[in-house]
Amino acid sequence: MWICFINKVLARHVDVIDLEAGMLVAWEMPTSSPVFAQVMSMLHPQTFAQCAARHPLRRRPRGLSVYDHFLALCFAQLTYRESLRDLEACLNARPSLNYHLGFRGRITRTNLAYANERRDWRLFATVAERLMARARRLYAAEPMDPDVPNLAFALDSSLIHLSAKLFPWALGGGPRKTTAVKLHVLLSLRGSLPAWTAISPGPFPDVKMLEVLPVEPGCFYIMDRGYLDFSRLHQIHVQGGFFVVRSRRWLGYRVVQSRPVDQSQGLRCDQTIRLTNPHSKRGYPGELRRVRIHDAEKKKTITVLSNHFGLPAQIVAQFYKRRWQVELFFKWIKQHLRMRGFLGQSPNAVQCQLWAAICSYLMLAILKKELQLTQSLHEMAQIISIHPFEQTPVSELLMKNTLQNPADQQQNLFNFNLL
């Protein structure tokens, strides 16, 4: 009887009752780490240390380490902080939990501003590369269309506009004089994850990115007509890669072979061509495949060029349609991450914040795959943004309540037409 009473009284504080030894052995159950720390655990500290060793500091940091700087920028991304003052106030509101979040230094506006100004942004770029490699391994078994090759990427860029008054260094030349930086992304069509990323000045031509693009033999690269440069496309062909790029309206060529197509599927032609323009022919001396597709809904006809002749023409057409996934990726990160308001005005501060945004996106994607979560990345980001300090497992926090309230069920039984 007394044992039952003790069990009821100490149920919240006693975990084990050793009756054979005649004494109570009790301890508090270990609490879970904060939600933000669980998200950041997708990046192992040893991995970050290896990246930091590649970009050492000139002197040992006193107040804010490079890892604290990285945590602070990711915290600003995941909680939608508007300024350094906002970030400092939010983190110092719960000083007892900063240690559990992973911070070891003093979080002040001065330390953060100095780090944004002086710390090398290439460290965050290296961390993003490691996260991209891990995310690619996790999503390797993601289901795709069986007719479409597994290794397919979409390449595109997007402008991130800046204020000409606050960021005069980003003012580009030309008639438009756009003040912006450009984000280049090579998006894997399996999982919609970035496989390679670069940041350049706004006026930088997209086509020049083909010179530094990492080409893997046997992979497909889908691009818009802004990347149509035959000499650079020939380099992709020489390195063993395959490309699908939209053609210009006026293109000099002669037809070598024409294959029959099913016009009911929107195809208009499937040809093997050779370029006739002297400059284009010198850049790409081999044969190309020309596929023309008609979109009945948009009433638009698109012509694409490729160096792969084995796939059906319908699959080549589907490749270019899937290029739209990279546009959706740009739309997502611009809407749900801090890529418009910046925490610093120097080029280094802008680079650090953009790379931190990419790292935050990748850690959310890795967390979703590791915990087998069914929620979308948007829903995960919204819930995590208001619970960064809560010490609850992320899987429980994001769990949907599928049970209906009995009162709601009874309310649904009313037939209001009879009242």
Cα–Cα distance measured from residue 308 to residue 306, given in angstroms and rounded to the nearest whole number: 6
155 pLDDT higher than 80: yes
Lowest mean pLDDT among 25-34, 39-48, 330-339: 25-34
Residue given tokens 């780490």 in the structure block: 33
341 pLDDT higher than 60: yes
Q: Average pLDDT of 57-85?
A: 90
Cα–Cα distance measured from residue 25 to residue 7, given in angstroms and rounded to the nearest whole number: 12
DSSP helix/strand/coil, 105 = coil
Q: Which pTM value belongs to this model?
A: 0.83
Q: Is residue 172 within 8 Å of 202, Cβ to Cβ?
A: yes
Mean pLDDT (the chain) is 83
Residue 222's Cβ-side half-sphere holds a number of Cα atoms within 13 Å equal to 22
Tokens of 75: 């915290």
Strand-by-strand arrangement of the 180-188 sheet: 193-201, 180-188, 152-161, 220-223, 242-246, 300-306, 288-295, 267-275, 253-259
Lowest mean pLDDT among 13-22, 32-41, 69-78, 343-352: 13-22
Q: What is the reported pLDDT for 176?
A: 61
Using CA atoms of 364, 368, 369, 372 in order, give the dihedral in degrees to the nearest 10.
170
Give percent of the chain above pLDDT 90. 52
Q: What is the reported pLDDT for 191?
A: 81
Cα–Cα distance measured from residue 110 to residue 85, given in angstroms and rounded to the nearest whole number: 10
Transcribe 165-228 into DSSP letters: TT-GGGB--TTT--BEEEEEEEEETTTTEEEEEEEEETT--GGGGGGT----TT-EEEE-GGG-
Of the chain, the end-to-end C-alpha distance in Å amounts to: 56
257-274 pLDDT per residue, tens: 999 988 888 889 999 999
Q: Average pLDDT of 304-316?
A: 90
Structure confidence at residue 340 as a pLDDT band (50, 70, 90): confident
